[in-house]
């Protein structure tokens, strides 16, 4: 039997009154300065990821002629580093690589985490092979999360060698258990709703119910966690690059720029590491603010 | 007898994003020393808020906007925190529904009772312990010496309720506020608990204010009953007269609902799905079978309708004369 | 009575440890096999003859089936044999033993100060939910989570070492001109104190200030936020409301709330300790601390796989011990846990 059977209760997708939802969102946003700031930062960072490498006044990967380590001036807004590269041009070019890594790894972690979360949540407490699968997934997540995050990231990159793809793979792997748990929690609630039983009576297979009917209704919590995960991934990427296990020099990347500037901080050239870190902090703050705002907006308790 | 507690025009509101909502509207009520007053009404009528506001326990978003709470001649709303603290658990005590939730789960019940004792009087450790054992024995907890070390999760709901009563009656309590004593307990246990509470109150000369959705309990233990609807007292009458013939259509509905569910108490009759109270005129109007055009103009006053009874209904006298089939 | 209960619980809980260890070792084993290329060539060099390669493969046990290799590997780590570090040419175990106290000293002080500052501040802001301090704490909570610890450390060095000359520079755990205290616990401050070696104590403490302050500033908000929200929940709980209705003094109400907020506070302290082991990696690198974290970084950068593997395995064991301690503390506080 087709699940499109009109006699069945409709899967309660939040499609009803999309316009109202949008208006709710706008009025919610208008009341919250922090959320607005976060959205602005996120939008700016995405814009820089696209255009950043092309709009800076100087090349981003080559040394300029002249003396290195020039302090900030009208010519070099954030000064120049030890190889006489323009820091401002590099700082605004960095989102290209940092955001690519963060977005791709978060997307993979989201897809993998949600899929596994649906399986482990929907089939948990059942019997037979799916139950074993569910248990296995949870135990694996436990073990992955038994390692301190940064050390595990370092080890993953260490064993596979540095490079963008390996950083993406490591971050995706690390974040999967996180999305998995959040999704599983939501699925455990959704699967108790009456429409699930209705779909079962209509003769749908369990797997179809899990992925076609339950999953769309359990997506809100993992979706709300995308933004903070992106911020966290940027932070980890910069940390890996800082110790030379992430994005190799001279690619403009905040963490590696801070590493380049680190020795100069001890000899007074404060601009070398200050600006990349400041921008990095602001961007991560932006993603955290957006995450907090979305969580509050989507949380049914606060919605009233 | 002189009232021990006088509430005058007490108004409490609840702050929401869409503005303040009235929870108690100019509520006035007296409790005499040693009397047993029952407060009845459906959930959401403001009973629990009434109890908490007497004790000054309301925190934001609740706000007491207006009115006085006079206890033994003192306006409690003017009291500083320190003097109020001494009244709470001293002269005015509270028992609650779901007793286990109201006990600290990580501290033994003996220690909790000792803490309550010492909050109001200076007692040496040993004396406090002896007094605690006496109290536990007085509320019918077997083997009290051993139970001192028990934690709330090790006791049944009925036993936890007894512990709460022991705390409530640890001092010279003049007024005991009893909030939903039967909630969460089965019939036999709640009967035992109520008997105990009533007995102790009578022997101490403590006034009881018993808040319940259960009319049977009120009929059995109280001399007077006050009916609440939408944050107002709508009827206030001696128990016998009330059960013989209520003067407010809402009271009638409550009595009828109670009669319908008699014999299967515990399966609370839910009346929540009914129409919301009206914002203008008599709030009960949308549900009232005897409403007339005049009911839409203003909230009726709480008026004397017979000796010792008041009702907030334009048609109270007609109801009392049994002329209306409400 | 309760000590018997504790022993029973602890032994049951400890019985889980070997199972967890086995799983963790499996992960590390799989991880090591992720290495690109054939590790044989690390030993033979790229131009060895086929015979020589086969011989080394046999020596390394790489010609055997994977599960046999895993069992061999388990045997070796059971004897504490993690192989030789290619970078230091020392047994990895000796390297770890040398560097572990440095990291532990750093983490210990960071945890202690985070708790000593974070818990009271969290309790205070939960009780007084308005005022300037509260707003300050909110802003701090937002920003500290966003700032990279290694960057914060560098800025702190610039200000307090380069500009103000208040604190020593990032040259490790003790001034190069001052001899290390006699080794007892390995923690310089503790050993210096025990042996009355005041110059060493002063120098080691001075060197600790910036790295510990960095870790505390960045990670304390975890303790602060969780303490505040646990405290807020408990202050709103029925039993605190009832304690208030029973006339208990304010202070007693707060004690009731705090006691019930302890389990989440202990959990977050465990999480903090766990997180700091990772966080210490970057801060150690900045301060040339010479601990486990810096060792991990150097093994990654130099493809020192034996060393890296041992660090990863150790960090997992460390995690398990931390959460075991958290569970035991929980058990001591909450009589409801069977």
Confidence of residue C221 (pLDDT cuts 50, 70, 90): very high
Query: Contact C285/A266, CB-based, under 8 Å?
Result: no
Highest mean pLDDT among A55-64, C32-41, C102-111: C102-111
3-state secondary structure of B223: coil
The interface predicted TM-score of the complex, written ipTM, equals: 0.87
Most confident of A106-110, B93-97, B304-308, C189-193: A106-110
Beta strands in chain B (DSSP E): 3-16, 19-32, 36-40, 62-71, 74-75, 92-95, 175-179, 207-212, 224-229, 232-238, 303-306, 309-311
Place of tokens 């549900």: B287
Q: What is the mean pLDDT of residues B161-167?
A: 89
Task: Looking at the complex, report in whole angstroms how far the Cα of residue A139 sits from the nearest Cα belonging to chain C.
Answer: 9
The stretch A181-188 carries a mean pLDDT of 88
Provide the chain B residues 128-187 that lie in CB contact (below 8 A) with chain C.
151, 153, 164, 167-168
| C60 close to C40: Cβ distance less than 8 angstroms | yes
User: For residue A304, what pLDDT band results from cuts at 50, 70 and 90?
Assistant: very low
Mean of the pLDDT values across residues B215-233? Answer: 88
In this complex, the residue of C239, C247, C333 whose CB is nearest that of residue B119 is C247
In chain B, what percentage of residues exceed pLDDT 90? 8
Q: Do C242 and B55 touch (CB under 8 A)?
A: no
How far is the CA of B22 from the CAs of A185, A265, B12, B39, B78, in angstroms? 37, 61, 6, 19, 22
Residues sharing a CB contact under 8 Å with residue C205, sequence separation 6 or more, in sequence order = C189
pLDDT the model gives residue C253: 93
Contact residues on chain B for C236, CB-CB shorter than 8 A: 59
Judge: C150–A155 Cβ closer than 8 Å, yes or no: no
Give the CB-side neighbour count of residue B89, counting CA atoms within 13 A. Answer: 27
* CB-nearest partner of A146 from C278, C279, C319: C319
Q: What pLDDT does residue B205 have? A: 86
What is the C-alpha to C-alpha distance for residues C337 and C327, in angstroms, rounded to an integer? 10
The mean pLDDT value for B268-291 works out to: 72
Dihedral sign computed on CA atoms, order A289, A290, A292, A296 = positive
User: Looking at residue C38, what is its pLDDT?
Assistant: 61
Residues of A in contact with C286 (CB under 8 A): 262
Residue A2, pLDDT > 50, answer no
Q: Tokens at residue A104, please? A: 């791709």
Q: Do C259 and B104 touch (CB under 8 A)?
A: yes
Q: Chain C 158-177, CB below 8 Å of chain A: which residues?
A: 158, 161-163, 169-170
Residue B143 pLDDT greater than 80, yes or no: yes
Do A199 and A172 contact (CB within 8 A), yes or no? Answer: no
Q: Do A273 and C151 touch (CB under 8 A)?
A: yes
pLDDT at B268 over 50: no
For residue B22, name the pLDDT band (cuts at 50, 70, 90): confident
CB-based contact C31 A270, cutoff 8 Å: no
The two structure tokens encoding residue C139: 């802003």
Which of residues B58 and B184 earns the better pLDDT score? B58
Q: What is the pLDDT of residues C46-60, one digit of tens each?
A: 677 778 778 777 776
Nearest to B105 among C245, C246, C260 (CB): C260
Name the pTM for this structure.
Answer: 0.85
Band of pLDDT at residue A14, cut at 50, 70 and 90: very low
Helices A271-298 and A254-265 meet at what angle, rounded to 10? 140
The pLDDT confidence band at residue A303, using thresholds 50, 70 and 90, is very low
* CA nearest neighbour of B289 among B326, B252, B241, B251: B326
- Of residues B274 and A258, more confidence is placed in A258
Instruction: Please tell me the predicted confidence (pLDDT) of residue C160.
Output: 92
Q: Do C249 and B119 touch (CB under 8 A)?
A: yes
Q: Is A32 exposed, middle or buried (0-12, 13-18, 19+ CB in 10 A)?
A: middle
pLDDT band at residue A1 under the 50/70/90 scheme: very low
Contact A258 C35 (CB under 8 A): no
| Residue C33 to chain A, least CA–CA distance (Å) | 8
The secondary structure of A128-139 as a DSSP string is: HHHHHHHHHHHH
Would you say residue C320 has pLDDT above 90?
A: no
> With contacts defined as CB-CB under 8 Å, which chain C residues touch B119?
246-249, 252
User: Strands across the sheet with B62-71, in order?
Assistant: B19-32, B3-16, B62-71, B74-75
Please determine, for residue B13, whether its predicted confidence score (pLDDT) is greater than 80: yes
Q: What is the pLDDT of residue A3?
A: 37
Q: Is B67 left (phi over 0), alpha (psi -120 to 50) or beta?
A: left
Residues of C in contact with A264 (CB under 8 A): none
Q: Give the mean pLDDT of chain A.
A: 84
The dihedrals phi and psi of A266, each to the nearest 5 degrees, come to -85, -10
Question: Looking at chain C from residue 245 to 304, which residues have their Cβ under 8 Å from any Cβ of chain A?
Answer: 274-275, 277-279, 281-282, 285-286, 293, 296-297, 299-301, 303
**According to the model, what pLDDT value does residue A171 have?**
93
Among positive and negative, which fits the CA dihedral A48, A50, A56, A62? positive
Residue A124 has pLDDT above 80, yes or no: no
Q: Is B280 on the interface with C (CB under 8 A)?
A: no
d(CA A189, CA C324): 30
The answer to whether C308 contacts A159, with C-beta atoms less than 8 Å apart, is yes
* C167-180 average pLDDT score: 86
**pLDDT value at B264 more than 60:** no
- CB proximity C109 to A under 8 Å: no
pLDDT on residue B69: 87
A229 compared with B3, residue with greater pLDDT: A229
Task: Please tell me which of the candidates A152, A158, A277 has its beta carbon nearest to residue C299.
Answer: A158
Q: Is the pLDDT of residue B269 over 50?
A: no
Q: Return the pLDDT at C270.
A: 92
Spatial separation of the C-alpha atoms in residues C60 and C99, rounded to whole Å: 28
């Amino acid at each position: 039997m087709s699940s499109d059977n009109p006699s069945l209760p409709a899967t309660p997708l939040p499609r009803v009154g999309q316009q109202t939802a949008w208006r709710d969102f706008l009025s919610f946003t208008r009341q919250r300065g922090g959320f607005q700031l976060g959205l602005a930062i996120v939008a700016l960072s995405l814009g820089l990821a696209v255009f950043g490498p092309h709009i800076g006044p100087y090349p981003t990967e080559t040394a300029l002629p002249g003396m290195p380590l020039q302090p900030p001036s009208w010519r070099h807004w954030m000064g120049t580093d030890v190889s006489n590269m323009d820091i401002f041009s590099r700082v605004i070019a960095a989102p290209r690589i940092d955001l690519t890594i963060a977005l791709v790894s978060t997307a993979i972690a989201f897809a993998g985490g949600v899929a596994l979360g649906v399986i482990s949540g929907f089939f948990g407490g059942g019997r037979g092979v799916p139950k074993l699968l569910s248990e296995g997934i949870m135990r694996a997540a436990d073990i992955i999360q038994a390692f301190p995050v940064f050390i595990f990231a370092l080890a993953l990159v260490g064993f596979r060698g540095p490079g963008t793809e390996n950083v993406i793979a490591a971050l995706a792997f690390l974040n999967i258990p996180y999305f998995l748990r959040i999704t599983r929690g939501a699925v455990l609630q959704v699967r108790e709703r009456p429409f699930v039983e209705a779909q079962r009576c209509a003769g749908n297979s369990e797997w179809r119910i899990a992925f076609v009917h339950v999953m769309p209704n359990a997506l809100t919590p993992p979706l709300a966690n995308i933004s903070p995960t992106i911020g966290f991934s940027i932070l980890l990427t910069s940390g890996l690059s800082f110790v030379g296990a992430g994005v190799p020099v001279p690619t403009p990347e905040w963490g590696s720029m801070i590493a380049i500037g680190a020795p100069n901080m001890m000899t007074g050239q404060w601009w070398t590491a200050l600006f990349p870190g400041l921008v990095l902090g602001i961007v991560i703050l932006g993603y955290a603010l957006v995450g907090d705002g979305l969580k509050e907006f989507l949380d049914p308790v606060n919605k009233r | 007898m002189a009232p021990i507690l006088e509430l005058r025009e007490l108004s409490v509101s609840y702050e929401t994003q869409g503005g303040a909502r009235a929870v108690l509207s100019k509520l006035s009520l007296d409790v005499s020393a040693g009397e047993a007053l029952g407060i009845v009404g459906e959930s959401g009528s403001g009973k629990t808020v009434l109890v908490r506001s007497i004790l000054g326990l309301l925190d934001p978003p609740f706000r007491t906007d207006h009115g006085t709470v006079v206890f033994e001649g003192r306006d409690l709303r003017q009291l500083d925190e320190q003097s109020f603290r001494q009244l709470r658990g001293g002269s005015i005590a509270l028992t609650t529904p779901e007793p286990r939730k109201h006990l600290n789960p990580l501290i033994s019940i003996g220690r909790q009772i000792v803490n309550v004792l010492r909050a109001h009087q200076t007692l040496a450790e040993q004396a406090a312990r002896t007094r605690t054992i006496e109290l536990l024995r007085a509320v019918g907890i077997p083997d009290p010496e051993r139970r001192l070390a028990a934690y709330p999760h090790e006791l049944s709901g009925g036993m936890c309720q007894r512990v709460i009563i022991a705390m409530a009656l640890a001092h010279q309590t003049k007024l005991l506020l009893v909030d939903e004593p039967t909630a969460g307990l089965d019939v036999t246990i709640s009967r035992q608990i109520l008997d105990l509470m009533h007995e102790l109150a009578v022997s101490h000369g403590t006034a009881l204010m018993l808040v319940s959705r259960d009319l049977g309990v009120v009929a059995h233990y109280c001399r007077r009953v006050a009916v609440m609807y939408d944050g107002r007292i709508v009827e206030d009458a001696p128990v016998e007269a009330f059960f013989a013939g209520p003067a407010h259509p809402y009271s009638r509905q409550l009595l009828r609902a109670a009669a319908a569910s008699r014999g299967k108490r515990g399966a609370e009759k839910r009346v929540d799905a009914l129409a919301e109270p009206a914002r203008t005129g008599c709030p009960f109007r949308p549900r009232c079978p005897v409403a007339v055009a005049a009911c839409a103009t203003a909230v009726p006053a709480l008026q004397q309708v017979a000796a010792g009874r008041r009702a907030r209904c334009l048609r109270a006298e007609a109801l009392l004369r049994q002329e209306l089939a409400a | 009575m309760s000590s018997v209960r504790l022993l029973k619980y602890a032994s049951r809980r400890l019985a889980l440890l070997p199972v967890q260890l086995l799983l963790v070792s499996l992960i590390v084993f799989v991880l090591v096999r992720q290495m690109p290329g054939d590790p044989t060539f690390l030993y033979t060099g790229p131009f060895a003859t086929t015979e020589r390669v086969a011989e080394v493969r046999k020596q390394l046990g790489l010609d055997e089936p994977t599960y046999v290799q895993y069992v061999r590997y388990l045997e070796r780590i059971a004897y504490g044999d993690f192989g030789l570090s290619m970078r230091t040419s020392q047994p990895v175990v000796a390297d770890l033993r040398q560097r572990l106290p440095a990291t532990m000293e750093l983490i210990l002080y960071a945890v202690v100060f985070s708790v000593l500052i974070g818990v009271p501040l969290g309790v205070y802001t939960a009780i007084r939910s308005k005022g300037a301090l509260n707003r300050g704490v909110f802003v701090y909570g937002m920003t500290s989570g966003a700032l990279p610890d290694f960057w914060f450390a560098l800025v702190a060095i610039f200000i307090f070492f380069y500009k103000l000359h208040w604190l020593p520079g990032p040259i490790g755990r003790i001034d190069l001109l001052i001899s290390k205290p006699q080794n007892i616990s390995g923690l310089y401050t503790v050993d210096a104190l025990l042996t009355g070696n005041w110059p060493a104590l002063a120098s080691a403490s001075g060197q600790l200030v910036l790295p510990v302050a960095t870790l505390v500033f960045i990670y304390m908000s975890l303790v602060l936020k969780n303490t505040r929200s646990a405290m807020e929940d408990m202050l709103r709980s029925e039993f605190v409301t009832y304690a208030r209705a029973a006339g208990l003094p304010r202070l007693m109400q707060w004690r009731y709330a705090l006691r019930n907020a302890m389990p989440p506070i202990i959990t977050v302290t465990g999480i903090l300790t766990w997180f700091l082991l990772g966080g210490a990696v970057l801060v150690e690198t900045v301060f040339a601390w010479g601990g486990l974290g810096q060792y991990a970084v150097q093994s990654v950068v130099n493809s020192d796989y034996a060393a890296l593997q041992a660090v990863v395995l150790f960090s997992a064991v460390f995690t398990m011990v931390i959460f075991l301690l958290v569970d035991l503390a929980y058990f001591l506080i909450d009589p409801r846990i069977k």
